[in-house]
Amino acid sequence: MPELPEVETTRRSLVEHILGAKVGQVWLGKPLRWPLGVEPSCLVARTVVALDRRGKYLWLALQRGDGRRDGLLMHLGMSGSLAWWGHDAPARGVHDHFELGTDRGLLRLTDPRRFGAVVWSAALDAPPAADLLSRLGPEPFDAHLTHQSFHASLATHRTSIKALLLSGRVMVGAGNIYACEALFAAGIDPRCRADRISRPRAARLLLALRETLGRAIDAGGTTLRDYRAADGSQGAFQHEARVYGREAQPCLVCSTAVRRVVQGQRSTFFCPRCQRR
């Protein structure tokens, strides 16, 4: 489920509550994608000192009693969501698989498919967090990511632009929904080879990615099924999607039927008239 806008919305709705909270108890449910990597009891008495995001990962920085820091790297996978409960958390459901109890309230991860993860790491730039983040491209709103560098990155890949965006190698954050939507906004056929995209079209695509992701963050993300912000609110961007999930429906610009093709085992939606190779 969660792409960058959903993860960022989660982060924003959580950070005000959890900063400064002191860990009481940690509870683990069924196994997630990877083991926590530390005894849960080891985390007790740590203080939450930051909640940052890198790509679709969240980094919950913890301060130890001796002043040193470590933290938890969290990922929501396809179906995960994080919820914050003050002091009135409802009983656990069957899909709740991680809880961080604090003196301010409870952080709970709900994830039916369990593709998500919570992994302890000594630091963001130390294993295992560093290994998981090592292949990520730049953040979409990073000022170092320019039209020029973006075009240069595209030129080094022969795969389709849609698959490349999903890989996160040239820019993190766009998953299946936002990759489709940004390619529509830029007028680029998702099957187009990345290294065949001209400089001006690359510039348009970068702009479209930033606008699409930015508007999705403003809308609180996309809620198709599972996704909720930490305060329980749903996203609204699903109402703004112009091609995603609209197979055979008329393009909102030219009325041509929206097509669905499969690329790398993922559905791609596009308008064959508005989007060109």
Partner DNA sequence: CGGGACGCCTGTGAGC
Partner DNA sequence: TGCTCACAGGCGTCCC
Query: Is 3 noted as a catalytic residue in this protein?
Result: yes
2 binds DNA (CB under 7 A): yes
248 binds DNA (CB under 7 A): no
Near DNA by CB under 7 A: residue from 1, 154, 182, 271: 1
Asked if 2 is an active-site residue, the reply is yes
> What residues between 30 and 69 interact with DNA by CB under 7 A?
30-31, 33, 55-57
From the list 6, 8, 70, 189, which residue makes contact with DNA (rule: CB under 7 A)?
Answer: 6
Q: Does 227 bind DNA (CB under 7 A)?
A: yes
Catalytic hit among 69, 215, 266, 273: 266
Which one of the listed residues 3, 6, 8, 99 is annotated catalytic?
Answer: 3
One of 22, 104, 147, 169 touching DNA (CB under 7 A) = 169
**Residues in region 121-140 near DNA by CB under 7 A:** 132, 135
201 catalytically annotated = no
DSSP the chain: ---HHHHHHHHHHHHHHHTT-BEEEEEE-S--SS--SS-GGGGTT-EEEEEEEETTEEEEEEE-TTS-EEEEEEE-TTT-EEEEESS-PPPPPTTEEEEEEESS-EEEEE-TT---EEEEES-TTSTTHHHHHTT----TT-TT--HHHHHHHHTT--SBHHHHHHHTSSSS---HHHHHHHHHHHTB-TTSBGGG--HHHHHHHHHHHHHHHHHHHHTT---SSS---TTSPPP-GGGT-SSTT-TTSBPTTT-PBPEEEEETTEEEEE-TTT-B-
The catalytic residue positions are 2-3, 56, 266
